[in-house]
Amino acid sequence: MTPKYFLELSETMGRVEVSDNTRGRVDYDEGIRRASNIVRAQTAAGRKVIFVGNGGSAAIASHQAIDYWKNGGMRAIAFNDPAMLTCVGNDFGYPHVFEKPIAMFADRGDVLIAISSGGRSENILRAVDTGFERGCRVVTFSGFRPDNPLRARGELNFYVPSESYGFVEITHLAVCHCIVDTIIAERP
């Protein structure tokens, strides 16, 4: 099972599909380049990177926010503090747990990275809509069904064609790492 699992994971990572806000297909390498350029340009202009996700995607969001600021030297944050989530969830409802802090803290030009394995979470979709309302640049990561609504919501969208949570989550993490590692590697 082990060699087959890793072979299938590797093949899945190579089949990531990238699209832009016109639903036009973007070459995988070009998608990484564009995402890296968006993050690099916006953070160089003093903007921040905001990560959101639920469950395993929240863990990816936290991990990447730390890597982007610690290793990448960029201001980055994940909106998944337990007290904030439970407060907003209790007072406004769980669909609003990311929408409300984005409305309060996102600035025009910030980069919102929205991560959802299934691409159907209402709170993530609301976060993206609010990010656009606030003038954010939005990059999405989704998987499972090719018609998931998050896949068509961002300025740039990374889609993992797999029904396996593990494969989708590991690929999202690897692509996020690839983006920040690309930025770091291209510094003078």
What is the pTM for the complete model shown? 0.96
DSSP collapsed to 3 states, the chain: CHHHHHHHHHHHHHCCEEEECCCCEECHHHHHHHHHHHHHHHHHCCCCEEEEECCHHHHHHHHHHHHHHHCCCCCEEECCCHHHHHHHHHHHCHHHCCHHHHHHHCCCCCEEEEECCCCCCHHHHHHHHHHHHCCCEEEEEEECCCCCHHHHCCCEEEEECCCCHHHHHHHHHHHHHHHHHHHHHCCC
- The domains of the chain, with CATH numbers, are 2-185 (3.40.50.10490)
**pLDDT digit of tens for each residue in the chain (188 aa)?**
688 999 999 999 999 999 998 889 999 999 999 999 999 999 999 999 999 999 999 999 999 999 999 999 999 999 999 999 999 999 999 999 999 999 999 999 999 999 999 999 999 999 999 999 999 999 999 999 999 999 999 999 999 999 999 999 999 999 999 999 999 999 88
